[in-house]
Amino acid sequence: MLIKILKSELEETLRIATRAVSSRTALPILTGISIEAQGDKLKIRSTDLEISVEATVPSTIEEEGVVVVPAKPFYDLVRKLEEGIIYLKSDFDGTELSIEAENNIYKFRTLPPGDFPQGVPVPEGKKIVLNGDDMIDAIKKTSRSASKDESRVVLTGVHFESGKNSITVAATDSYRLSVVTVPCNYVDEGIEFLVPVRALDELSKIIENDELEIVVTEKQIFVLQGNWVFYSKLIDGQFPAYKQLFPEKPSVEVTVEKEKFVNAIDRIASVFKVNAITMEIEEENMKVYGHSSDYGEAMEKISVKSTGNIKVAFNQQYLLDGVRSINADLIRIELQEGLNPAVIRPLDGEEYSYLLMPIKS
């Protein structure tokens, strides 16, 4: 195999293609990336058997071939090289891959390409087409609410459901629930699937603000954009019926400036190391306070618009996660008496709702 390619083009392809490299595995082959030269393109692929990424880049291919090299040291070296032409060359029996850049030569021992898992071709399936920024926004708004408890596999996923020219994305760990609806350029009817949150976290790191296509089958999802294809297995299970969890009418509704609210919570929580934040609404004021047995206590007062008086406490990190996910300047907080859930939404604009269970103050 002999390839001629610009360092910057190889580095960008590796940035994308290494997202699925397994860091914890009993299979050494999964710590590598497959590099295949064919025709006029270089194809680089990684997988951990649950997700995979394949990226291609036009190259000058003087000799075709395929090798598997350790992903991390190979990518680290390419990133550290000076810009210019790079030559990738494997020896006759494919046990070594050399990188030649200017007058420098670096040699990597290869792994058996026959042991590397075969790629999964993109099949026919139901399709979703949307803008990359909308997909990233949906992932960021919901992924933090997915559970990390592997004993409740269904809750470790993010739920997608098609609507009219849109998809609704939801995640919950049973203490909080994030739901967002984003527009689609095209969407088939009757789509519903559950994606592992880790897969979406990795996917969000390579999406650009261009149109992307999602192909969904019974057990798999494929995401295509530009020069790459991302694949993930789906979670088999029934996501909770969440729509009826939203209260029909709040006891008290509060409108507050997002920035002032976030800053108050952050100051109190980070400086005084508190886990709980109490909100006390009286007329047109909100008192935000927290208490720590180690450091003391703090209270900040914020002007708000309110329909009544109420006092309620929340986990400070969960509260911050929900409020920070909102892009609007003003937020609406719908509060209930007792230990009934609150709902946080933007006052206007985006279709996003964050349901949060209170805690005992």
Q: Average pLDDT, stretch 98-102?
A: 94
pLDDT at res. 343? 97
Q: Looking at residue 24, what is its pLDDT? A: 81
User: How many CA atoms lie less than 13 Å away from 35 in the CB half-sphere?
Assistant: 29
First to last CA, the chain: 66
pLDDT digits (tens, 9 = 90+) for 183-221: 999 999 999 999 999 999 999 999 999 999 999 999 999
Mean pLDDT over each residue of the chain, to the nearest integer? 95
Model-level pTM greater than 0.85? Answer: yes
Domains in the chain with CATH codes: 2-115 (3.10.150.10), 126-243 (3.10.150.10), 248-356 (3.10.150.10)
Phi/psi zone of residue 48: left (φ > 0), alpha (ψ -120 to 50 degrees), beta? alpha
What token pair was written down for 144? 């933090």
User: What's the rounded Cα separation, in Å, for the pair 306 and 191?
Assistant: 40
Q: How confident is the model at residue 42 (pLDDT cuts 50, 70, 90)?
A: very high
Which of the four pLDDT bands, split at 50, 70 and 90, describes residue 335? very high
Q: How far is CA 10 from CA 29, 57, 204, in A?
A: 21, 8, 20
Q: How far apart are CA 145 and CA 169, in angstroms?
A: 11
Q: Is the dihedral of CA 72, 10, 79, 88 positive or negative?
A: positive
CB contact at 8 A, 342 and 352: no
Whether residue 25 is predicted with pLDDT greater than 90 in this model: the reply is no
- Residue 150 scores a pLDDT above 80: yes
**Residues 263-303: pLDDT tens digits?**
999 999 999 999 999 999 998 999 999 998 889 999 999 99
In which residue are the tokens 């993930």 written? 232
pLDDT band at 330 (very low <50, low <70, confident <90, very high): very high
According to the model, what pLDDT value does residue 145 have? 97
